[in-house]
Chains A and B, each alone.
Chain A
Amino acid sequence: MRAADALCEALKAEGVKHVFGIPGGASLPLYDALYDADFEHIQVRHEQAAGHAAEGYAKASGNVGVAFATSGPGATNLITAIADAHMDSVPTVFITGQVRTDLIGTDGFQEADVTGITMPIVKHSFLVTDPNQIPDYIHKAFHIAKTGRPGPVLVDIPQDLSKMEIDYEPITGPPKLPGYQPNTEGNIKQIRIAAKALANARRPVLYAGGGVVNAGAAEELRELAGSDRFPITCTLMGLGAFPAPHEQWLGMLGMHGTRTANYAMDEADLIVAIGARFDDRITGKLSEFAPRAKFVHIDIDPAEISKNVPAHIPIVGDVKKVLPKLTGEYRALAADGSRLDEWWRRIEGWREQYPLHYEDSSDQEIKPQLMVEEMYRVTGGDAIITSDVGQHQMWAAQYYHFSKPNRWLNSGGLGTMGFGLPAALGAQVAMPDQQVVCLAGDGSLIMVCQEFATAAAHDLPIKVFLMNNGHFGMVRQWQELFWDERYKSVAMGPSPDWVKLAEAFGWTGILCDRKDELAGTMQTALETDGPVLLDVRVSQNENCYPMIPSGAAARDMVG
């Protein structure tokens, strides 16, 4: 069998239904094989979008997302998406064409050392040197991408090798990877100590991150939280892992989290970190982070434990397996729940004193926070929401009360503007029956607006709600607050006519610039067949609050 066909067989064996990509010289054999493949290839308009679409596909469905690109510039265009998938632990496989083996190292046409360039931003990578390796590497790539802490794996295939004939036999059983043995169970002795610590804590907080979503452990998390009245907060990546409307929910924590969540972390005596990694956007000034707390840290990646914050009770394991054990051990202790009463009184006090709030306009001006609240209402809180990066992302995190996992797809670690639209394409391909809404920023959307063509060509009925404030809003906010209002290169100037632009790509375009039309236009957008862009003109100078200024401590939140 031709090696490129064996690659498709291997992908099929891995359950692949869709791949995203753009062809090119070095990947011609691969695309010739795709001609006959049993899965669908979604042709995007820029390789970066192929990568983000694969991420959106993976985040929405939990299955591995796959992107194809050719050598050189095709592959380098994937870099941002690979780095993004690495930071947010997204199970993805990137398959790149490489120049012929006799050209490698000669600076051949469209040659780039892609395995070298991506080394710091992949979970693992394979450079094929023998065509017989191709199916084996594909299976290994999928295994590594989706097990342990998920992440991106790259397979780089020289053009000549993919054309060669090989003896292909379907591979069964787990691949042989002696240096890769993720520890999933969690040490039961450590789990018992953690249960005892919880039983003795008077001011505990559960702090859950994206690892809970990745592990599919939302139910297990709810069980733990429900084993007593434990206050719980989620990171940006963890939103949806615990239902936001729940009474034990403190809101998101971190730089734009609620005061309640951040103050609770600040005063906690025990913090149980669950699939979370103490990012600087969470801790603020590290030396003043949660100064009174002891830490239980549960993570599948041992290197995350004690990386930023030293753990007192480290537990390496899959949270889906560890949490039920911890819940069982805790319940067996029959701890007196009333010890938490005082802590809850303190928390309720913050809740009352510092709810999330904004001042609505008295006229027809649309406040961005109101736009998110309206989105929440018209979608019934049940849509898959993708976002770009910036103010709108934070407002979505604050005001769209996610109650299920895998509904909030955004770029947290890398903070990639332009993530939302391609991620929405991927999510819609993965979940054709779900309502997929991209909450876009105008600064971000224009970076990837060529992908309107992809949605039109593949008939993907995504809805883009553009929060159009005419600025790189978050940068504008920082220049206002921390750089003496010396605004530089943050106004978008003569932005395109978004409605016309959408229509040019075969979309429906709708403009909304009055508050009293907001709900109606959103409803129309959702009910219109095919892809729709709703250009919502919001206040230009609204700031996102509350906020922990960069490098400050949680208790010094402003706004």
Chain B
Amino acid sequence: MDVLSYLLIPFQQPMLILLTAVGTFAGVYVGAIPGLSATMAVSLLVSFTYGWGTYESLALMLGIFVGTVYGGSRSAILLNIPGAPSAVATGLDGYPMALKGEAGKAMGIATTQSVIGTVLGIIVLAVAAPVVSKFAVNFSSMDYLLLAVMGMMMVGSLNCKSIFRGLLSAAVGLFVGTIGMDSMTAVRRFTFDISYLNSGVSFVVAMIGLFGVSEALIQITSLDIKGVKQKVDKILPSLSTIKKYIPLTLRSSAVGVLVGALPGAGGDIAALLTYDQAKRTVKNPEVPFGEGAVEGLVAPESANNAAIGGAFIPMLTLGIPGDAVTAVLLGALQIHGLQPGPNLMTSSPDLFYVIVSVLLVASVFLVVFGLTGVKLFTKIVEVPKSILMPIIIILSVVGSFALRKSLFDIFWMLGFGVLGYFMKRFDYPVAPCVLGVILCNLLENNYRRGITLKKSIGGLVGSIFTEPVALILFLVIIVMVGTQTNTYKNWKKKREEKRAH
């Protein structure tokens, strides 16, 4: 059994286990700081581990990868500042839980779900990589466009006072997303000849400002309210709780793996899609979505971690990165003399299974490090606001600067902070705005690609009906819209009444 012996390699070398543990531990804390991303951490490690053996450097980098993806949920739950774009959806229900004194419970669920999601992702990677990668390669521009449209549908799922306010906020986000040099024609849009605007506005910067700084500003004006005392007696969710959410976990993880495997979309999109899907399909949550629904944590946290396994699928089967981190890892493999590509699985099968195995080890450590620090972390929410809020602003400045080392990003971030403050004050939701900035590129570029390929809008729309993936995605969107209409709701109500008789 070659496979088994490859899988066991990390267990024969305690150093590999240790490095994975160190990586996971560091990742949880790096990931919790907005602006410090998995991509950044892993690319620093590429130079750091240059002289190491391939397995050793992989163990450290994979540990960091798994840790940071999870770590993003920490700050989202505790402070309403997502540590990474993939944790945006986590904060929507995680933060309300913290406000109710349930931060410990929220982090416990985020941990177990992240671990389950990671493991499910790894299982798909281990058994179905070739099939999924074929699916990913054949995902056309039209399919990406429909995926982006599905993402935009989430505006309807975010708690807004009115749909108009949600749409306006999303429109602002989409507009911000168009700023900068157009990647297709190099035309500069809304840059006013300032070269630093050429690269556009990073959505991480928008995210930090709109969530972090605006929250700090809001809270500074209500300092007299005391921090919420947190319950920390029951952190680990009971087995029956986990069992209860198994169907949602499986569904969300499946979406996570598939979207993660797409070279053009990753964990952030997966988390948003599954949150939306959970909100639409879970009929009677114990607590309404947006006010601390457990389902609102389960879906995105399973999905964004399952996307890790997904991202490795095209990387290991085709040599094509599934996201930014796997792109860095590809570079690292080449530095170590390996040739990633379609032949990698046959030329170095050990590598594939060592990666699978190390990822599994990392998810075990995720349980350990995810749960041990929780009590200490919940103390953050109890810190007096006059101390906590300035710290949040500092972290936001640091995070947005660390991203690209650009002073302009700090200005943008602060500007978004003020914008977010006024939006919140006047009851405009900020989440659709972040959604708009995140999805703008996916939406615009794939639409333009589609038009170039199909020559006309008619041709593009027509292609929905000739390509199976596009047709399925289109039908999902139709169902999503259809079930929200009054006609459908009335019909359903009537049917239920009839049944009751």
Answer whether A and B are interacting partners.
Answer: no
